[in-house]
Amino acid sequence: MAECGATVEGLALEAGRFIARVEGRNLTVCVLGLGYVGLPLALDLARAGFAVVGCDSSPAVLDSLAARRSPLAHIADAALEALWPRFFAVAPAAGRAPAADVYLICVPTPLSPSGAPDMGAVIEAAELIGPSLTRGALVALESTVYPGATAEVVRPRLEQLSGLRAGRDFALAHAPERQNPGGDGGEQSRRRLVGADSHAEREMAIGLYRTFAEPTAVESLATAEAAKLSENVFRLVNIALANELAATFRGMGLDPWAVARAAATKPFGFMPFAAGPGVGGHCIPIDPVYLTWRAEGMGLSLPLVDAARDIVGRRPAEVCAEVLAALPPRADGDRGRVLVVGAAYKRNVGDARHSPAVEIIEILDGAGCETAYCDPFVPQLEAGGRLLSAAPVDEALARDWDAVVIVTDHDRVDHAAFLRAAPLVFDTRNVLAGVAGAGARVVQV
């Protein structure tokens, strides 16, 4: 949207007052959605000195927070206890969000059953904020969306329900989340993008975000939306390339991990990505679809992205094919007992959303295997319509298995110990490289 002089002037006075209140920590921030994005954000704001009210519709989340217990494995209870006088959580009441000066939307943006973007939670959040929105407020969407979504989906609902206009009466921004669960929380995770369609709106959003992060202003809502999708499409394509190269080099009799380490010695023009059993989490399996869906609706195509999705999407089935081919035949017709080590989508977190472990378990079950899993971060896992409980590692090691499949490389798990549990260990993460005595019992997949 081109900047309009009257619109910018109308919000400029409010922007000055807003920034003064930010500097004095004299405003209330409402964070809608207290999951992997919203809860860390709420705690960052509380540490920065703001009064923060979290808003979530999940009774389990609200009960946990009320008891000062973190609902997320990577956030300590002590962090909540230390900030509780400044941060508390409530459910939306009477169809509206709590009164606040800032509203930050951190709700999920999954895919619908048909594979299209599901903006339902974003719409619901906007419709909660609208009746509570006041002149001079800031609304920022952190959820990942397709280019144009903030202006086309969020803005009209806020304006209709509040009677106010974005860019004139309140500021609307897109500040795409960059949470990295299991990361070190250092400088890289603090670098944020903030996009808005007018100078005054950008100034208000940057004024808030610089109190707890290192924001960079970009020229529009859509630029920020597209940049976030570009970040995760980049990761998807390079992970797909790493898997394709790994399969090719194995076929040539080479160690793909050794090749990757050698290439990574180049100090410029190369960035290492690891092959693995597939991708998971709330970003890489989902976000590229938001871009391809939007592009297709505009008569555009992204064949490279489509090919990358296909490559990584095949990985769980390819892993299972190697496992099933290696299992010895049994007289009773069963395919054997297989232990899956690791259910989270990445190391050192408890998030199993879209984890390749789920599909691996389902495929092996469907082929007639008896399966179990162990993961100290994921106590329960839904796979194949069943709710599974993790086997304690010590208990799993005490049993005999026909094969072990290492899916997630948690630091606290002694993966070498599983060499004693089965004649074959399928290592999708290269965690057993260099382990003495591994030999032919370890299969790289």
Active-site positions? 283
Mapped onto helix, strand or coil, the DSSP state of residue 238 is helix
Of 55, 143, 60, the residue nearest 99 (C-alpha): 55
Helices (H), 252-350: 256-263, 287-297, 303-326
Give the position of tokens 């979290």: 54
Sign of CA dihedral 411, 414, 416, 421: negative
Q: Are 62 and 133 in contact (CB under 8 A)?
A: no
Of 376, 434, 348, 402, the residue nearest 418 (C-alpha): 402
Mapped onto helix, strand or coil, the DSSP state of residue 160 is helix
308: Cα separation from own chain's centroid: 19
Of 171, 93, 106, 167, the residue nearest 132 (C-alpha): 93
Which residues in 69-116 belong to E strands, given as ranges? 87-90, 102-105
- The Cα 97–Cα 130 span in angstroms is 8
Amino acid at 292: T
Torsion angle defined by CA atoms of residues 389, 395, 398 and 402, in that order, rounded to the nearest 10 degrees: 10
Q: Are 196 and 173 in contact (CB under 8 A)?
A: yes
Q: DSSP code of 170?
A: B
